Structure 1
């Protein structure tokens, strides 16, 4: 059975205390015994010398009787157990007592010397036998005292250990309660000693643990509540994301305006149709359809009306197709139709004519009835191609030729590839011309109608093609707008104009130059930064550059246009609205645009001297511009009468063939000299 801590402690303390005391007492006995032995030696040595002195005369005179009397006197001394005397020849003369060598005796001898002559020797044996019982009794007492001390220490230790164990047991019970998760309890405190202070510290720790446990429990409950809410939100978000993903997947594959599949879905279905066609020898037809005059609807009635028209066209196409057919909006006013199991050109044309005739019925847009026509081109699989890109390109080229020849519908023929290649070569040549500086600018003057002086010039780009000769902008600008070249073209023209403006300014003839900007340029998020970079790079004052933006361009995305114009004004670049009067912009929005000028469209100016309606429109535009604090330019001035009417109506500037046609810089300088 294992001993308890208390028993071990008491036994250990008592044993240590007893052994320590026993060692002290035994050491004292040892010291006492040694001291007694030293005293015995000293006494024996002294007694034998006295014996030798006393016996000297008796030995010299050889008086045995006297020697025996002296020896009896010696034996009467306490502690002398034996005495003997020998003559010079070593004969024993007399002795008394009994010889007994033990731990309690000490033998001492001395020579009897008289005048340097030895007459014999004497010997005694001293003993402390009487002291041994005393020493033994002392030893027994010492052992008794040690055992009593051990018992006393044991009792005291037992009592102290009981107190100590009660305190330790209380702490042990407390730690077990803490281990079970009980906090905040207090242990009883007895006394004011270190153990009591330790228990008080334990109680303080228990209270702190209770506080921490309560706080942890509260935070855990909060975390559980937050997790529960998060799980609910994650579940809601997951469901919302699933719905959004389905919507995004639908939007990625469909046109949001018409609900028709888009180009991505068409490519997928074309690829499937090609695979089925190869596997099952199943022909099909692909048509591309483009509305005629859609831009005019947007420009005259606005984009909302254009959107309604596109939606109506999409519904009419779907209504006249089979369920297996696919109608797609490619973008803008362009649609595509996939016709499975259509084997020849005749069947394809029949479907195309049916679709085109379905568009002839007018579309009601507000209070206007709009008549819609379209141009359609088609390509057959596998006759005209067995790849997605090839079929789309061939159908698009057939549509382009139908639109150009106003044919309504055309089936692709290989000869169209050559014409398409011509356009592609023209695009490549234009890219080369922009990068290698083959474009030139002609300048048309603007005249101040009050002073009759030159007030500015409009830069008009020309292309000196190495094969086709001098090409006007109408030949290549639309091509640039349909490709990625419109940005590089605009910035190249702007750089040429800025360079010329700087040259005239350095000659002491500062003259503002206007540059036309496409709608696609304003849609470019980095357009304003590019303009700023060109002006800084060329080193021309921003006030010498004016950008002209058509009214219809501004109405495409009014908010984006307003932000771009505001940023240009902050650079110091002035902006003018070109072809004003054709875009139906609202008075409210016009007031928000930070433009400097409006240019009346030439379609109103050219006949204003003979057309009362045009005259009224021009007068209204001039009054409107002045009321908004804008300068007004009349373009398309081809007669002196037109110029006179503009001046009489208060128009600020005029531009047109009557004043001067666009000229290269040398001719413009010569004209300038003549018309100072």
Structure 2
């Protein structure tokens, strides 16, 4: 039975009880009122008769009362002396002697007796100037007395009907009001425990449910797992396409996550682009299988505003009771594992005690990077690109290096990732640009004709100030734009493609050249590259390193070189580590090579020494 029906029937039952109680009280009040009226009438009659017989002799009194009694058949009349002896009586009603004796012996001036079959009312009055007392009695059969109540029965029925209608109306109003308040309470509770955008449970709900699940005893072989899912590159899309597009993407992500979990698993959105899964009663192998499905689901493209975006996810896993014994710590350990997965690039990480220290170190690194960037304590290294036919350097790639006072050199991929996720990537890129153009000018003044390659992040292509900023630097250091090559990755063009392409064309109009870095690791086709204003393709080192041992890699490199040349592009092989790979690239028609076989990235002073040595070698 529904809550509304229960409430309605409850109100009606309470109302009927109230009406019944009202009827009973009204009945009792009416009966009491009728008795009081009869008592009053009897007392009045007794007083009047006592006055009438005052001063009469006994025989005259008898004669008068006899005549009066004939006209008052409903009354019984008694005259007694002070010794309570009956002098005479006039009784037509059946009032037994025992009842008369009780009334006389009671000595009460007026009252009534309630027997099983009738009521007897009496009033005693003293006769003035006489030792006698007059008793006036009335007897009513109970059936006759109830008939007296019929006069008020219609009023009682009407009052009861009105009360019933009021009760029905009140029941409906109160039920409706209660249901509305209950619905509002449930909605407020739902809003408190759920995310408004996706409709998923929020962190509060997740904590409550986790605490409840942790209270039960787990069968052997089962565990409770808390999985934290951080969506990669969501911030880039949200900042470039706007919050509406970001909200739409979050709803798409939530829907896709629902499709890969069980119906009794709890999926929650805990903050921004972070989601959580609570898996109960599963094996650790099943948890890892679920995280794999989540990762595969997130690696598929999302269609948004006519473009397909590839995100991916970093996933952290914490198990109860292995890693924490309460909900708050279990979630915290899962988040630490997620940060570790993001930091080391594994995609999925299970919590380990070392993650606590790593997370604190990560926060410290962010602060240290900001400080060193402000103080210009970042170093710029340069790695040559060599023409494979002439074996002469034709350009340099500027590469930032960060030597931390406590941790030594930080991996470039690591601190670039920190910069991209903390808003430091633009200041870092501006500094690299300025230093690279300053060095380019110095090399020109020394008669060295080398182009300068600078890496751009996806964030830089979304910055509307990059064109004007680079224009000012070119003018400040008097560097020809054609000497500058900006290296971008395939994935950098997948975020807000229109804006990125517009920025590329603006920079290209300045005379700057572009190179696609790490080609082969993304999703771009040659037909797509044809639409970009690029002049160079750098084949990713993952194909180059093993091409002398893996025929499939060699075939892939050959195909890229041939197709790139068909498009009029220069081809650079990255990661050349030995002579065999360099010779093979030359045979395949590759234009340039870059790698440790020729030179590692060098600081400026060592670069000058290397260039001088190369020049001498080529002169021999």
Does the 8 A contact of 2:315 with 2:341 survive in 1? no
CA drift of 1:670 comes to 0.8
CA drift of 1:358 comes to 3.4
CA drift of 1:497 comes to 1.0
Q: Which residue of 1 aligns with 2:570?
A: 631
**Change over 3 Å in CA distance of 1:453–1:374 after alignment to 2:** same
CA drift of 1:379 comes to 10
1:462 counterpart = 2:401: yes
1:650 counterpart = 2:589: yes
Q: Which residue of 1 aligns with 2:384?
A: 445
Q: Which residue of 1 aligns with 2:433?
A: 494
Can you give the 5+ residue segments of structure 1 that lack an aligned partner in the other structure?
1-248, 296-305, 340-346
CA drift of 1:437 comes to 0.9
Structure 1 distance, partners of 2:512, 2:474, is 10
Q: 2:257 aligns with which of 314, 330, 333?
A: 314
1:422 counterpart = 2:370: no
Structure 1 distance, partners of 2:388, 2:582, is 8
CA drift of 1:577 comes to 0.3
Q: Which residue of 1 aligns with 2:470?
A: 531
Q: 2:602 aligns with which of 646, 663, 676?
A: 663
Q: Which residue of 1 aligns with 2:525?
A: 586
- How large is the RMSD of aligned CA atoms in angstroms? 4.6
Structure 2 distance, partners of 1:449, 1:502, is 25
CA drift of 1:598 comes to 0.6
SS at match of 1:447: strand
Q: Map 1:223-262; keep pairs closer than 5 Å.
A: 261=200
**Change over 3 Å in CA distance of 1:384–1:467 after alignment to 2:** farther
Q: Which residue of 2 aligns with 1:328?
A: 269
Structure 2 distance, partners of 1:451, 1:583, is 31
1:375 counterpart = 2:332: no
Post-superposition Cα deviations, 1:124-164, rounded to whole Å, max 9, x if no partner, equal xxxxxxxxxxxxxxxxxxxxxxxxxxxxxxxxxxxxxxxxx
**Change over 3 Å in CA distance of 1:560–1:287 after alignment to 2:** farther
CA drift of 1:450 comes to 2.8
Structure 2 distance, partners of 1:326, 1:554, is 32
Instruction: Give the alignment's TM-score, normalised by structure 1.
Output: 0.49
SS at match of 2:391: coil
Structure 1 distance, partners of 2:586, 2:347, is 46
CA drift of 1:650 comes to 2.0
SS at match of 2:530: helix
Does the 8 A contact of 2:561 with 2:588 survive in 1? yes
Does the 8 A contact of 2:450 with 2:483 survive in 1? yes
CA drift of 1:448 comes to 1.5
Q: Which residue of 2 aligns with 1:130?
A: none
**Change over 3 Å in CA distance of 1:425–1:508 after alignment to 2:** same
CA drift of 1:593 comes to 0.3
**Change over 3 Å in CA distance of 1:327–1:319 after alignment to 2:** farther
Q: Which residue of 1 aligns with 2:424?
A: 485
Q: 1:561 aligns with which of 490, 495, 500?
A: 500
The structure number with the bigger radius of gyration is: 1
Q: Map 1:117-136; keep pairs closer than 5 Å.
A: none
Instruction: Give the alignment's TM-score, normalised by structure 2.
Output: 0.53
Q: Which residue of 1 aligns with 2:113?
A: none
Structure 2 distance, partners of 1:459, 1:656, is 14
**Change over 3 Å in CA distance of 1:406–1:609 after alignment to 2:** closer
Q: Which residue of 2 aligns with 1:550?
A: 489
1:602 counterpart = 2:534: no
Structure 2 distance, partners of 1:373, 1:571, is 39
1:358 counterpart = 2:290: yes
Structure 2 distance, partners of 1:377, 1:385, is 11
1:516 counterpart = 2:455: yes
More relative contact order, 1 or 2 (CA 8 Å, 6+ apart) = 2
Structure 2 distance, partners of 1:313, 1:433, is 41
Does the 8 A contact of 1:330 with 1:336 survive in 2? no
**Change over 3 Å in CA distance of 1:451–1:423 after alignment to 2:** same
Does the 8 A contact of 2:229 with 2:313 survive in 1? no
